[in-house]
Amino acid sequence: MKASIALTAIAALAAKVYAVPPSCFSLKLGYPCCSNASTPSVYEDSDGKWGVENGNWCGIPEQVKVCWSEKLGYPCCTSTSVSVFEDNDGKWGIENGNWCGIINGPTPTPTPTPKTTPNPEPTIDPTQYKINGNPFKGVDFYLNPYYVEEVENALNNLIDSSLRSKVEKMKTFSNAIWLDTINNMQSWLEPNLKGALAQHQSTGKDVLTVFVVYDLPGRDCHALASNGELLANDADAQRYKTEYIDVIESHLKQYTAQPVVLIIEPDSLANMVTNLDDPHCSQSESYYMDGHAYLLKKFGVLDHVAMYLDIGHAFWLGWDDNREKAAKLYKKVIDSASPGKVRGFVDNVANYTPWEDPTLSRGPDTDWNPCPDEKRYLEAVKKDFTSAGIKSVYFVSDTSRNGHKTDRKHPGEWCNQTGVGVGARPQASPVSGMDYLDAFYWIKPLGESDGTSDESAVRFDGYCGHDTAMKPAPEAGQWFQAHFEQGVENANPPL
């Protein structure tokens, strides 16, 4: 098992609650029972097997054949037999994003070392972590347990079995956790903050967790494939503040000992730069601006939190006039949120534009875009935003799906592109000479669909029916096995 998986698994399992061990032979001899049947046997006599815990002898209870994980506060696995992690208690799987015990029973650890019982819950640490500079630097990256489960399921359904070893590696890389509905935020925010804290307390290292804040009223200007649950009206704008942003803030204020990065509302402000002639965008404008000001004031004063505003990608805002408009708009948004601070900006979220493509230049093939790849785009944005008076201009670039040049007929095509390849691995300060590039990071998980190719579906978007879009494709956010496998196969650098 990769060390990074083991550490994260240890962190997640630190929340296990150990039940009172069953009765055993040693009680009548004046010795306690060991905590479970998997405690290593140090000595065996006619009475039974003996172990050592906390420096004292204990009797090892007989192996329990029932679902052992239930007494630890976790359910049995019902649909998976794939072991993600193994400890002295047994083999653990993941179902519905939660740990479960594989019901074939625990597997004892052969090394006869005393068991150390973890804390039932990570102790909430009142320490105030303060981000100074690049939040991705000098920390461990937290693994998204939901994505680990998705990859485990993908392993069970491989179309191309030769990819197995490469797919296994996908579980070892960090990616962002999307808070894309109020319900998902309630289900995913605190458990993963707690998991990162438990990992910190288990390993002694600072652990960075990355979340995507993505639930604005009128999200994506009510785009067909990616519109959200909240509409562009006053009532839903109030829900956004009280049921979504305020709840996120309350959890962030509780878990202050570890760094957190927030990716703020992909596509939203970029739409305000270029698409206000669309009625859905114009109806959303005031809610986008007010929503950003509200959340930036809330989150931007938290010392352990760094925020990055989405700036689309090179073939959205790369042209000179679009960058000029963007600089003015983003300056206005940031100024409206004082004293809240923004670390910087994020590009290429869920997109396929290569980081660097020397084959492209400003000309008819690129609609005269002077920034035909993300590297040149960020270089230009850095200059323009700095000139506009924005004080903190740092970047995170999403490299989850841009490692291989896709089959797009035009770089603006975005839906489930054929030829996809996972790109550069999550890494802090990845490019020499670009000290303003904080990180490459996987924000949109490879394998999750951009949108359905079913033309009869309510959420069908024409781009998902283009010749270069892989088909058949499921609804946005659902697992797309064929797309995932192609992305693994075309990984650059190779897996």
Active site (catalytic) residues: 267, 450
400 in Cβ contact with 445 (< 8 Å): yes
316 is annotated as contributing to ligand binding: yes
Element spanning 385, H or E: helix 374-387
Q: What is the rounded CA–CA span in Å between residue 151 and residue 110?
A: 29
The CB density around residue 467, as the number of other CB atoms within 10 Å, is 10
Q: Shortest CA distance to 19 belongs to which of 64, 73, 65?
A: 73
180 is annotated as contributing to ligand binding: yes
Q: Which residues pair with 427 in a beta bridge?
A: 440
115 is annotated as contributing to ligand binding: no
Q: Shortest CA distance to 477 belongs to which of 488, 464, 490?
A: 464
444 is annotated as contributing to ligand binding: yes
DSSP 115-139: --PPPSSPPPP-------S-TTTTS
351 is annotated as contributing to ligand binding: yes
206 is annotated as contributing to ligand binding: no
402 is annotated as contributing to ligand binding: no
Q: How many helices (H) and strands (E) does the chain have?
A: 12, 15
Measured N-to-C along each axis, helices 246-254 and 182-203 cross at an angle, to the nearest 10 degrees, of 10
Q: What is the rounded CA–CA span in Å between residue 87 and residue 103?
A: 14
| Helix, strand, coil content of the chain in percent (nearest 5) | 35, 15, 50
Q: Which residues are annotated as a binding site?
A: 178, 180, 313, 316, 351, 414, 444, 448
Q: Which residues are annotated as a binding site for substrate?
A: 178, 180, 313, 316, 351, 414, 444, 448
